[in-house]
Structure 1
């Protein structure tokens, strides 16, 4: 896969303040986005889940020169709020906030939707969807000059993908939330998008049953004939955060080599 011409892209995000939630390791989609944001000139705030995750994320934050590095488990009361309090104190504003967080209990994720537990569904919805709404609420007062909010979705939100199970309805709710937030925040020049990558080898995806089969089929069926990588997703999110996309909002943007157009 050819690499982007960084000299041509220049410093499209120079001086922008970008928060990235959800980096787990160097294979994370969120890391690919943060890496492109930084390459294009943005200042970064990066979060890590907990002390167990910190050793995997801290070297990446240091590599990217993140000026803010803080813990954030959205399921723990007050942690997301503390992230935004720190940003408000140190930066005084925010231009970009990217949410790349999803979770469902293993039994609910790997079992049939019809067998999912009420508690498992609640947890998946809270962490994977409602935390994005909470993020938007906290970001709004900091985006005084407008901004861009983005969440990570998947094709299983719109079509049935075997073995995606519980996460299909959860991601569908997330995409709907994106549209409503775009409507509610548009008057403040805050644009909101869902980004829907094709199958990627991430830690989160490894929890899906028969994921290797899904990857193989995606490579064969995608018109481009290749899987996308985390930098491809990063470049798309960076575009959405620039003035080049100033009239786009409320969209689900597919980054999948054309896979989603195939029957």
Structure 2
């Protein structure tokens, strides 16, 4: 049900690959709530995914390719987006993450360091680059909202999640540090959402994902939060209803993050 929470707002959504993507769901909800959007992803992802189908469902939103690790690409994206909107931007979603070590099967304690650096650049430093570029170009309105998607592996070790856990920890730290700077400079708020495991194309590629998902479902009092649930939460954080929330890592995981053990898990082990 739409309430026009984002009426008149304009935003950039990074990372929609296909209909399983959280960013895909966020884009649809943002438009439903009255926003105008620009969609962006890396050129290789644009070739692999179905983002043009999403753009058609979002009032023919422009699709502007950008490698989020490339400053020139980001400068071009923000310049084109502000030109398209005829003004500054009100919200940004960073839904970007990839680990070459995970894809190539390197164990964490046998990591390939060139791959590790790429993981950090793609999955965390790109968030810094997005905000540094936006700030340099003065592309965001005051009280704009910048969000990135994280996971509890930033705080806890999950076998198979590999160097992505380190990347998420860095991502959350960048949100706090840049949130401080951007808040004082432009009243821009910066947060991360620590989401339940979701069977996206990227998430399903992590070794043991089905185990993560099933365990979290049994541990969480409310169950796992879906991609659609996450999209709804993002909308509230883009809206003016949360304009005093910044520098936070916000758990959106059905209570998993604060549950020591559940009866369902105990019963499973007692069988």
Alpha carbons 2:11, 2:35 under 8 Å: kept: yes
- In structure 2, what is the equivalent of residue 78 of structure 1? 72
Q: 1:137 to 1:242 in 2, by over 3 A?
A: same
Structure 2 distance, partners of 1:261, 1:200, is: 19
Q: 1:170 to 1:48 in 2, by over 3 A?
A: closer
1:24 aligns with 2:17: yes
Structure 1 distance, partners of 2:64, 2:239, is: 25
- In structure 1, what is the equivalent of residue 265 of structure 2? none
CA RMSD of aligned residues (A): 1.7
1:210 CA drift (Å): 1.2
- Structure 1 stretches of 5 or more lacking a match? 1-5
1:51 CA drift (Å): 6.0
1:218 CA drift (Å): 1.4
- Secondary structure of residue in 1 paired with 2:43: coil
- Output the TM-score relative to the length of structure 2: 0.89
Q: 1:46-90: CA deviations, max 9, x gaps?
A: 013326634611001111114321112224562222111101222
- In structure 1, what is the equivalent of residue 192 of structure 2? 194
> Which 10-residue stretch deviates more, 208-217 or 76-85?
76-85
- In structure 2, what is the equivalent of residue 104 of structure 1? 99
- Structure 2 stretches of 5 or more lacking a match? 261-271
Alpha carbons 1:100, 1:151 under 8 Å: kept: yes
Structure 2 distance, partners of 1:25, 1:66, is: 16
- Structure 1 segment 130-145 matched on structure 2, within 5 A: 130-140=125-135, 141-145=138-142
- Output the TM-score relative to the length of structure 1: 0.91
- Secondary structure of residue in 2 paired with 1:101: coil
Structure 1 distance, partners of 2:226, 2:8, is: 26
- In structure 1, what is the equivalent of residue 61 of structure 2? 67
- In structure 2, what is the equivalent of residue 169 of structure 1? 166
Alpha carbons 2:13, 2:37 under 8 Å: kept: yes
Q: 1:132-175: CA deviations, max 9, x gaps?
A: 11111222311233301111110000111222111111110110
- In structure 2, what is the equivalent of residue 232 of structure 1? 229
- In structure 2, what is the equivalent of residue 58 of structure 1? 52
1:214 aligns with 2:218: no
Alpha carbons 1:47, 1:72 under 8 Å: kept: yes
Alpha carbons 1:44, 1:66 under 8 Å: kept: no
1:32 CA drift (Å): 1.4
Of the three residues 110, 113, 124, the one matched with 1:118 is 113
- In structure 2, what is the equivalent of residue 158 of structure 1? 155
1:107 CA drift (Å): 5.0
Alpha carbons 1:19, 1:45 under 8 Å: kept: yes
